[in-house]
Amino acid sequence: MDTWAPIADIAAAVNDGKTTASENVEKALQNIEDKAEFKAIISLTADRARKRAKQIDEHVKSGKPAGRLAGVPFIAKDNFLTFGGETTAASNILKGFNAPYQSTAVENLEAEGAICVAKANLDAFAHGSSTENSDFFTTLNPHDKTRVPGGSSGGSAAAVVLGMAPFALGSDTGGSIRLPASFTGCVGYKPTYGLVSRSGVVAMASSLDCIGPFARTVSDAAIVLDVMSGKDPLDSTTIERSKNSYTDLELDVEGKTIGIIKEYMGEGLEPEVRKLIDAGVEKLKNAGAVIKEVSLPSLPLALAVYYIICPAEVSSNLSRYDGQRFGYSDLDAKTLEESYEMSREKGFGREAKRRIMIGTYVLSSGYYDAYYKKAQTVRTKLINEFSAAFKEVDFLLGPTAPSTAFKIGENVDDPLKMYLIDIMTVAANLVGVPSISVPCGMVEGLPVGLQLMAAQTCDRELLSLAKAFEELNV
Amino acid sequence: MSDYITTIGIECHVQLKTKTKLFAAVDNDARGAEPNTLISHICLGLPGALPVLNDKAVELASRAAFALNTKPQPFSKFDRKHYFYPDLPMGYQITQFEEPVVLGGHVDIVVNGEQKRIGITRAHLEADAGKSTHPAGTDYSLVDLNRAGTPLLEIVSEPDMHSSAEARAFAHELYLLMKYAGVGDADLYHGNMRFDVNVSVSKDPNVLGTRSETKNLNSFKSVEKAVEYEVKRQIEVLEEGGEVVQETRGWDDTKLATFSQRTKEDAHDYRYFPDPDLPPIELDQAFIDSVEKSMNMLPAEYRTQFAGLGIDPKVVEDIVNVPETAQLVARILETSGGEHAKRIAFWTVQKTDDNSDDAQAAEPDVKVDDKNLVKLSELVSANKLSSTAAKEVLKEMQKTNGDPEAIATAKNLIQESNEDELAKIVAEILAANEKAAEDVKNGEMKAIGFLVGQVMKASQGKANPGIVQQIIKKQLNI
């Protein structure tokens, strides 16, 4: 199969008239078709993609450049609202929903000439770590079809690794970009909370949701971030972006202090994964980085805190799927009450219902203080511990996940075991810091991801270190 | 029955006068708009839609704080209140539960000549829901989301009122305060202001009775009548040995009666929690100071000012009831002094003398210049116009905003006050009516009326009757 050049080169070739956007779109659509067996894709936006490609090609022909991502095809997780097809969030309740507006992230990419060609599979409403909670089908791991690609953005990760497009978009609420990046062997980037607008992305847990790219290299991820990021008048939780380009990366690690997260390196970590992480650390050390061990004592509580705050927000955010205005509505309902009950009963899958139940419970009067409030208190403690740690070190380092990709079906009957897979990723969401998963090696033919974190708004520094590691790890 | 103590607290929703909705850049004025035309993805609660706070609403809430004799809170935040209903698109209402923008404050009212202070517990910002209608005889309901997202300020009073008259006075004063402060149009007819009254009765002054809450009252009269009805109903229940149920009640404006809507057992668990889509509202001192500086004069200040002019308290209330009138009178007072202010105040109040307190504030079609009003008043002061003629001129001025002297001249209403001129006419009339003159001299004062009338006739109605009388007396040496 034909693979892709670096994103900057693809765009340059289109702007220079050496290739066309149309050729790129056809290539992406062909690759998607060739790899259909992996079930990474829910739907194509082919008609609109071809139309846009034609416009871009005409634009270039008329002598005007078509942007930094001119004619670069991409795939959006199907919880991004896009034109050109349905947006389902892989849920039955949103099946048939045609978005009347687009997510800001997609709008920003399109403004620089990028072209969305397809919508990728996910765990319905991004609830899960394997895509097995998709109401439609499970995506297969590109390295082993009996295994999951990780989740919830499993379709996006697999699509990039399978070469369907040079990059894909994901959302990361507790690891949903980094985990599948680790399981499939690509770069997955979760920016500082608020750096990329959430407007037009189906909300999971608003205080945790981050939008980010999947790509084959850190440089490709950086250019996508650079185009997507910035304050958005449609999302009041967005922050000002850095004045420097996120593609302007500093590769020297000499003297940079990296803290190895003690709590992530102990019990529960597969020995073979640990060996690869240790080897990665050694390479950074040899390049001149100062390595320290850092302990964040509240880290073992992060998963518990996450599984209170996340379902609380989920239960609230999913209230709007009520069968009254859009999406699935049970027409057999005889009363309003029945319409709500039956539409939601049939429209939501098991995991969505589980989270609605948990979330409703922890927000109920009488339980609010014991669960939600207490969880927020611990969250604040975590934030303080991370702030303290980032006074000591420039970066934190650990594995992205305790293991490599697990077998399809292995964890479906044990939600708790499934939740434990996120144990190393949720903290970055609770604290709001940027975090990246970069490929670090293979264990028995399966990829392992190395996770790096930096202090809030230090996205450029984090991408720099990740790129330096990527080059050291070749 | 009279040994029961009534306790009343009022919650009031004021629709804020913003151009756009609380969390969406969509027109906020739904009057006359086709259903579901003033909506966006945010009002519809579409997937991925996020609320963005309208700063103007925060400014108006801050104005309300000053009108309620307090200051806005430097830190407040939004919470989500969850319940399912078709006119609530997101399945939750965005409101301020834990930390509202206004805490404390008070409103002073006067009932039966006595001033009373009613405490304000809090006031918070929230987004209104849409409007549901249930057409009779059909098996469907209709939802109009034009109103969904309209900014409201909910003002909650302390349970400091103890009679229906106090409740009405509080509601009315709150209405004036919101109007004067420019917080809302407070147009009761269009539901810009809605009151919920909490009423309980108890024989023990230290123990409150169980309360009922009558919701969605949209006139001062209905506030008063609903309280009266509830007090009577609750006392009857207690006298018959029953118990008052804590419940929400509705108001039937034709039967003038409340009716049960839902009891405490049906109460929702709203599962409030901080809205993660909205950063907290943080107001710095400079902003709070600038709002305070920009506050208009409030009713209480006008009352003090007008009472100082010796205007009757009833008339003062009539003036204050219409902010434009109060502002006009105050302006005249400042530019042209008390005499003109007082006279113009009377004219303006008489113009709107159909101003029962539930009526719409009558706005003049043509705004008459302050200058022209003062000119008109000066004509009266100079005895050039009678007060009756002045009203006639004013009527014309309200149509055209023309110059009063020109109008009066055109209408031939200018009085002849030139004593030399008048003296000539009087001399002629006295000469021609010797009998009447003789009668007056002999103390038959009735006859003076006849003589004045003759002079008026001779002057074609332009003579100032007061001056004519004086000249007649002078010429007859009485």
The predicted structure's pLDDT at residue B361: 42
Q: Give chain B positions within 8 Å (CB) of A319.
A: 82, 84, 90-92
Residues 6+ apart with CB under 8 A from B34: none
pLDDT at A106 over 90: yes
A48 part of a folded domain: yes
**Highest mean pLDDT pick, A1-10, A129-138, B365-374, B419-428:** A129-138
Q: If 0-12 CB within 10 Å is exposed, 13-18 middle and 19+ buried, where does residue A425 land?
A: buried
B59–chain A nearest CA distance, Å? 18
Q: Is residue A51 part of a domain?
A: yes
Average pLDDT over residues A304-329: 97
Q: Which of B71, B463, B97, B40 has the alpha carbon at shortest distance from B274?
A: B97
Backbone phi, psi, residue A242, to 5°: -70, 150
Residue A87: inside a domain: yes
Of B47, B82, B273, the CB nearest to A202: B47
The pLDDT value given to residue B447: 84
- Which residue on chain B is closest to A360 by alpha carbon? B271
Mean pLDDT of B51-74: 98
> How many other C-beta atoms can be found within 10 angstroms of the C-beta atom of residue B357?
16
Give the pLDDT of residue B314.
Answer: 86
Q: What is the torsion angle, in degrees rounded to the nearest 10, for the CA atoms of residue A40, residue A44, residue A50 and residue A53?
A: -50
How many separate domains does chain A show? 1
CB nearest A320 (choices: B45, B50, B276): B45
Confidence of residue A237 (pLDDT cuts 50, 70, 90): very high
How far does CA B390 lie from the centroid of its chain?
Answer: 28
Burial class (CB in 10 A: 0-12, 13-18, 19+), A359: buried
CATH of the domain at A44: 3.90.1300.10
Domain that holds residue A172: 7-228
Asked if the structure places residue A56 within a domain, the reply is yes
Q: B419-475 architecture in CATH? A: Orthogonal Bundle (1.10)
pLDDT band at residue A90 under the 50/70/90 scheme: very high
The one-letter code for the residue type at B459 is S
| For residue B413, pLDDT beyond 90 | no
For position B418, what pLDDT does the model report?
Answer: 74
Residue-level pLDDT at B16: 97
B47: closest chain A residue by CA: A202
* B-chain residue closest to A103, CA distance: B48
Torsion angle, alpha carbons of B351, B354, B355, B361, to 10: -70
Q: With respect to residue A264, please indicate whether it lies within any of the assigned structural domains.
A: no
Q: Which chain B positions have a beta carbon within 8 Å of A334's beta carbon? A: none
Question: Does the structure show a pLDDT above 80 at B365?
Answer: no
Contacts with B273 from chain A: Cβ below 8 Å:
312, 316, 363, 368, 372
Q: Which of B49, B82, B86 sits opposite A324 (nearest CB)?
A: B86
Interface of A with B (CB under 8 A): 81, 87, 89, 94, 97, 99-101, 103, 198-203, 205-207, 233-237, 312-313, 315-316, 319-320, 322, 324-326, 336, 340, 360, 363-365, 368, 372
Chain mean pLDDT for chain A? 97
* In-domain check, residue A202: yes
Work out the minimum CA distance from B247 to partner chain A, whole angstroms: 19
* Element spanning A451, H or E: strand A446-454
B416 or B343, greater pLDDT: B343
Query: Per the CB < 8 Å rule, is B89 touching A325?
Result: yes
Is B211 a residue whose pLDDT tops 70?
Answer: yes
Search chain A and give the residue with CA nearest B86.
A324
Q: Given this model, what pLDDT does residue A154 score?
A: 98
DSSP string for B302-370: HHHHHHTTT--HHHHHHHHTSHHHHHHHHHHHHHH-HHHHHHHHHHHHHHTTT--TTSPPP--SSPPPH
pLDDT at B356: 43
Burial of B299 (0-12, 13-18, 19+ CB in 10 A): buried
Optimal mutation site among B40, B43, B273, interface A, most CBs of chain A within 10 A: B273
What pLDDT was estimated at residue B189? 77
In a domain, A81, yes or no: yes
Q: How confident is the model at residue B265 (pLDDT cuts 50, 70, 90)?
A: low
Distance CA(A350)–CA(A43), nearest Å, equals 23
Return the higher-pLDDT residue of A321 and B264: A321
Average pLDDT over residues B56-79: 98
Indicate if the pLDDT at residue B201 is higher than 90: yes
Three-state SS at A207: coil
| pLDDT attached to residue B362 | 44
B278 contacts in chain A (CB < 8 Å): 236-237
B430-461 pLDDT, tens digit per residue, is 888 888 888 888 888 788 888 888 888 887 77
End-to-end CA distance of chain B, in Å? 67
AA letter at A198: R
Nearest to A202 among B48, B51, B273 (CB): B48
Q: What token pair was written down for A103? A: 């997510």
Residues of B near A (Cβ–Cβ under 8 Å) read: 41, 44-53, 80, 82, 84, 86, 89-92, 141, 143, 269, 271-273, 276-279
| CATH 1.10.10.410-classified regions of chain B | 419-475
Which pLDDT does position A239 carry in this prediction? 98
**pLDDT tens track for B130-179:** 999 999 999 899 999 999 999 999 999 999 999 999 999 999 999 999 99
Cα distances from B209 to residues B197, B206, B228, B235, B442, in angstroms, run 15, 10, 16, 10, 77
**Which residue from B minimizes the CA distance to A204?**
B48
pTM of the model: 0.91
Is B46 in Cβ contact with A326 (below 8 Å)? yes
Write down the H helix ranges in B107-219: 164-180
Mean pLDDT (chain B, rounded) = 90
- Residue in B with minimal Cα distance to A340: B84
Which tens digit of pLDDT belongs to each residue from A267-278? 889 999 999 999
- Look at residue A470 and tell me whether its pLDDT is greater than 60: yes
**For residues A341-355, average pLDDT:** 97
Q: pLDDT for B280-308, tens place per residue? A: 999 999 999 999 999 999 999 999 999 88
Contact B64, B123 (CB under 8 A): yes
- Inside any domain, residue A234: no
pLDDT at B417 over 80: no
Please give the average per-residue pLDDT across B2-13, as a whole number: 94
Q: Do A203 and B47 touch (CB under 8 A)?
A: yes
Q: What is the mean pLDDT of residues B254-283?
A: 91
The predicted model gives A419-442 an average pLDDT of 96
- Active site residues per annotation of A: 77, 152, 176
- Residue percentage of chain A with pLDDT more than 90: 96
> For residues B465 and B34, what is the distance between their CA atoms, to the nearest angstrom?
60
DSSP A292-345: EEE--TTGGGHHHHHHHHHHHHHHHHGGG-SSSSSS---TT--SHHHHHHHHHH
Burial of A420 (0-12, 13-18, 19+ CB in 10 A): middle
Q: A144-148, A205-209, B297-301: which range is least confident on average?
A: B297-301
Mean pLDDT of B217-229: 96
